[in-house]
Structure 1
Amino acid sequence: MEPIPASEWERYNRGALDMIVHKVSKIDVLVEATRKLEDQHSRLESSITKMADAVTKLAVIEERQDQDRKEMADLRSMLAEMARKHDSSMERVMTAIGRVEDRVDELEKAEPMNAQARRWMFGALGLLATIFIYAVANTLGLRS
């Protein structure tokens, strides 16, 4: 084999250096792209962590809302029961008031008859008292 002339060697070295420089610049580009990718990956992991926290908080809020809805349903049923009892009590009160009104009407109708009966009774008592006094006076000889 013949030795490579110096001019060829220099041209070969320059081509190799150009190729190495070209490869190094590609490696630099790849390193920079990898660094950017790692940064994006870190930001993505941070975002995923934040989203996981948000989903956890959302689940807690949803559980609280479910509990609140259940309590509201319980309160609604209690309120309906109280309204039913109130209506029943009001019916009993109105029935009692109706009976009292009927009794007052009867008493108002009977009042004139009661007044007449009182007059007769006091008249009868007065007559009896007079008869008694007259009898006592006769017995004691106070009557002439």
Structure 2
Amino acid sequence: MAIAKSHSTDPADFPSKKGKRVLIVEDDASLSRLLAITFKLKFPHHSLRVTHSGKETLEAIREQKPDILMVDIGLPDMSGLELARKCRELPGMSDVQLYSLSGRGEPKDFLASKRAGFKGHLVKPVDMEVLDKFFRD
């Protein structure tokens, strides 16, 4: 599967003055586009950037620290659990809100996300009502 380049829905507003900086990490290009479009329609006051691999995400974080990081657990170059640990080690990232994205929703999956430092575990397809709880001011 081809991996699309990182994209931001509003790079001029990244970081946003009135919202949060959100970085979604999803390697499936179609799903990442759908998440970005849906997110931007529901939460226009937040700025959004999308990356597609662990390496690309670490580079994006060095460019601009996000407030919220939503990470797919199954990435092509490293697991989302490993990426979460690496993110926490970066300067200024100790307080980032981490949420895992996964197609798996067994208790062991929720536990693995929690142990890796994720605040929440979102099962794909992501329920927009759940996102409302995370991103509404």
Q: TM-score, normalising length from structure 2? A: 0.14
Asked which structure has the greater RCO (Cα within 8 Å, sep 6+), the reply is: 2
Normalized per residue, the structure richer in helix is: 1
Who wins on radius of gyration, i.e. which is larger?
1
Q: TM-score, normalising length from structure 1? A: 0.14
